[in-house]
Amino acid sequence: MPDTLKFHFDIDGSDFSSAGAASVMVKKKLRQLAYDPEIIRKVSIAMYEGEINMVIHANGGTADVEVSDEEIVIILSDKGPGIPNVELAMQAGYSTAHDNIRNLGFGAGMGFPNMKKYTDYLNVDTVVGEGTTITMKVKL
């Protein structure tokens, strides 16, 4: 595979019912391409956590997935409120989600720890009031 495979998604922040759909799509594509199930699992869980975060915390954004010979790169970009304290946000159990989010089954503060657990590289680039870009890499 000489070319890098690329997927792009616009993540609608106004419609919770579609949250996670892009990750399901990526998982399906990677399965069709017969990647190792463990790799697929890591990529899809990490992306899903990030995608849900964009919808519940940042009013949506874009998701880009790039597959090369060496790695799968996931870039999630939003123009949401930004994250004031990334170190704190990365801690297990830390969440600013309200009850309405918890009623939807999210907001335990486990997303970032999970993204870290399932990826080989995680970078959070965020500016309060401007937005957040999350880059994750899983080695093949």
Partner 1 sequence: MKISEIRDLLGASVLTGEGILDHEVTSACCSDMMSDVLAYVKDQGVLITGLVNPQVIRTANMMDMVCIVFARSKTPTEEMIELAKECGIAVMCTEKRAFETCGILYTAGISKCNEDKNA
Alpha-helical regions (H) of 16-107: 21-32, 37-58, 86-89, 99-102
Considering only 30, 42, 74, 122, the residue that binds partner 1 (CB under 8 A) is 42
Considering only 9, 13, 23, 58, the residue that binds partner 1 (CB under 8 A) is 23
Tokens encoding 135? 């880059």
DSSP 11-22: EESS-GGGTTHH
CA dihedral 17, 103, 65, 115 (to 10 degrees): -170
Tokens encoding 71? 């790695």
111 near Mg ion (CB under 5 A): yes
Q: Which residues of this protein are in contact with ligand ATP, per CB under 6 A?
A: 49, 53-54, 57-58, 78, 80-81, 83, 89, 94-97, 106-112, 132
Considering only 7, 12, 18, 68, the residue that binds partner 1 (CB under 8 A) is 18
CB of 70 to ligand ATP, least distance (A): 27
116 near partner 1 (CB under 8 A): no
CA–CA gap between residue 13 and residue 30 (Å, rounded): 25
Give the footprint of Mg ion on this chain (CB under 5 A): 53, 111
